[in-house]
Amino acid sequence: MLDIESILSHEVPSMCFQCEQARGDACTLTKGVCSKTPETTAIQDYITHLCGRLAVAALKDRTAVLESDLILFNRGLFTTLTNVNFDDEALMRYVHDLAAVVARLGDKDTLETEKDVIDGLKDFGLAARVQKFGATAAGLRETVIYGCRGAAAYADHVVPLDCFGPVAEPTWMMVEAVAELAKDDLDAGALLGLCLKVGEANFAIMAALDAAHNAALGRPSLAPVPTKPVPGKCILITGHDMVDLRHLLEQTEGTGINVYTHGEMIPAFAYPELRKHKHLVANFGTSWRNQRKELPDFPGPVLFSTNCVMPPKESYKARVFTTGRVGWPGCTYVANHDFGPVVECARNSDGFTAESVEKWAGEKDLLVGAMHAEVLGHAETILKLIGEGKLRHIFFIGGCDGSTPGRNYFSDLAEKVPDDCLILTGACGRYRINKLKDYGDIEGLPRLLDVGQCNDVFSAIKIAVALSEATGLAVNELPLSLVVSWFEQKAVAILLTLLHLGIRNIRLGPSLPRFISPEALAILSDKFALKPTNNKDAQADLDAMLAGEK
Ligand code: SF4
Ligand code: SF4
């Protein structure tokens, strides 16, 4: 049980429970599990506070709001997402930029220095909010903010692909939701309504990102991904931003430097406009949580294009570069897609040799590219297989990966799924299941289909809706079960989208978010039959899902 009074009595009353790693009920006062310091937490809380004030000021006179203000609103929220930005100097620049916009919109009383921000934490920090609103309302308020952080990240990815236009309207929806939080008297029903509004906004943003990826990078299709490195100089890109990768590929074309994906960049191989670059040679490593184990073995620079960043070890820190919203103190930040310093570092690094690649000689290719257009190209086959009783059930098993032991649940479950069922996967949770075994196929249709990044859950939704239309069954009546691993705020945005769409019986794990109080959970369970994963008995969950448990 959190002792809020005691937290508030500290000099820096830092508290954070936005991600699954939270220590106990929250990370408090000392460094968070992610390595975030209390000072960084204070600045990030103040950025969120300024985004709230920007929202209120914006709604007083929409005509005064510039497109760049809305882009900054999204970027401010994005940079406070778990494992994105640990660089206080960079974060203070967001504070100053947001304060300038807020002042231009008529709200002038903002804090200027890092010291003022840290001193002010007792007034605007999370502990103060929990004390003011109580656990249930404060948790639902945080859910609105966390959902906005995730959605804002996706919206920010659209900007370099397709300008701001397609995400302007859903960003305004988030502005409206965040501005509502300025009211002190919102009850649980009103707050749940705001959560669903953020889910609706995120759905529109994911659709826009999907369209932008398709338009710029070509229609994704099934593609094998090599996982054995090849001899030669090399650059690794991790994170989520496909535009960063495109620039990197263009800037390394003809240099003899090979480019590798890591973590959530692996779906890059699905896009024709990216895989056409022959020096995009392979995926290296697995999910973000294994960075500190895997990256020391990569003999070249590593570019972090977005989350999730772990504290780099000294053995490779000098080779770490960040860009976009990402920052790590002491690592080189690259602006405006000018990856010259990264290329230079690759030239001066060892690269893979014929001997060193032997370590990965036994690695097998992975398959990506099961986005909606590709899977729905097989819709007739899928419907025929369902009709003939050869395809019993479809599972989505994926989401954000993390380090807690209960996450073996997802591999246990995937391993046990019977051979007459398909598994859709996506996000870095894929790495829990994609190397477990050869899943085989059902009459030529691969049993394990990777729909892409976390935002490509949009594809899983499109597939479900298309099956619903073709069979005449409501989505909740389809032989389809969603088992979602959550870790941080993009997963919150996705969950809110699924709830906004009325999807029931989602299993969420490996633990339920700390910021959801028992009372709030009771509301969600009652309305949406949201369930925790049964980490001790994946078979029991599997049996219940196969039996069509509602
Ligand atoms: S982001 Fe997660 S790990 Fe980091 S301080 Fe917050 S709750 Fe703790
Ligand atoms: S899917 Fe989630 S946990 Fe994984 S890298 Fe992306 S944001 Fe991080």
Give the residue whose CA is nearest to atom 5 of ligand 1. Answer: 32
Average of pLDDT values for 486-499?
96
**Nearest CA residue ID for atom 3, ligand 2:** 400
Residues 197-252 have pLDDT tens digits of 999 999 999 999 999 999 999 999 999 999 999 999 999 999 999 999 999 999 99
Residue 286 near residue 294 (C-beta atoms within 8 A): yes
Distance, CA 470 to ligand 2 centroid (Å)? Answer: 32
Whole-angstrom CA distances from 509 to 93, 127, 533 are 36, 25, 5
pLDDT in tens, 152-196: 999 999 999 978 999 999 999 999 999 999 999 999 999 999 999
User: For residues 247 and 259, what is the distance between their CA atoms, to the nearest angstrom?
Assistant: 12
Atom from ligand 2 closest to the CA of residue 399: 1
Rounded distance, CA 501 to CA 228, Å? 40
**Single-letter code of the amino acid located at 292:** R
Q: For residue 288, which ligand has an atom nearest its CA?
A: 2
2: pLDDT confidence band, cut at 50, 70 and 90?
Answer: confident
Q: Residue 521's closest CA among 539, 541, 499, 489? A: 499
Average confidence score pLDDT of the chain: 96
| Residue 26 DSSP symbol | -
Q: Are 447 and 472 in contact (CB under 8 A)?
A: no
- Find the 490 Cα to ligand 2 centroid distance in Å: 8
Q: What is the pTM of this model?
A: 0.97
pLDDT-derived band at 22 (thresholds 50, 70, 90) equals very high
Q: Which atom of ligand 2 is nearest to the CA of 487?
A: 3
307 pocket-lining for ligand 2 (C-beta < 6 Å): yes
The two structure tokens encoding residue 315 = 């053995």
Angle at the Cα of 388 from the Cα atoms of 383 and 389, rounded to 5 degrees: 100
Q: Name the token pair of 96.
A: 């100053």
Residue 491 Cα: closest atom of ligand 2 = 2
What is the predicted pLDDT for the residue at 143? 97
Reported as a single tens digit per residue, the pLDDT across 365-404 is 999 999 999 999 999 999 999 999 999 999 999 999 999 8
- Counting residues of the chain whose pLDDT is more than 70, the rounded percentage is 100
> What residues contact 544, with CB distance under 8 A and at least 6 apart?
none
Q: Check residue 162 and give its pLDDT.
A: 79
Residue 371, CA distances (Å) to 31, 272, 365, 386, 453 in order: 39, 13, 18, 20, 10
User: What are the pLDDT digits (tens) for 440-469?
Assistant: 999 999 999 999 999 999 999 999 999 999
* pLDDT above 80: residue 550: no
Task: Dump the DSSP string for 382-451.
Answer: HHHHHHTTS--EEEEEEE-----GGGHHHHHHHHHS-TTEEEEE-SGGGGGTTTS----EETTEESEEE-
Pocket of ligand 2, candidates 305, 486, 490, 494: which has the most ligand atoms within 8 Å of its Cβ, to mutate? 490
Instruction: State how far the Cα of 32 lies from the Cα of 38, in Å rounded to an integer.
Output: 8
Show the DSSP H helices in 163-298 as ranges.
165-180, 188-217, 242-252, 272-275, 291-294
Q: Ligand 2 in contact with 264 (CB < 6 A)? A: yes
Residue-wise pLDDT for 508-528, tens only, equals 999 999 999 999 889 988 999
- Point out the ligand nearest to the CA of residue 490: 2
The stretch 304-311 carries a mean pLDDT of 94
Task: Pull the structure tokens for residue 122.
Answer: 């007792």
Q: Of 226, 129, 259, whose CA–CA distance to 184 is shortest?
A: 129
Ligand of minimum distance to the alpha carbon of 126: 1
Q: Whose CA is nearest to atom 2 of ligand 1?
A: 19
Local confidence band at 406 (pLDDT 50, 70, 90 cut-offs): confident
* 361, containing H or E segment: none
Starting from the CA of residue 309, give the closest ligand: 2
Ligand 2 pocket test: which of 305, 307, 450, 486 has the largest number of ligand atoms within 8 Å of its C-beta? 307
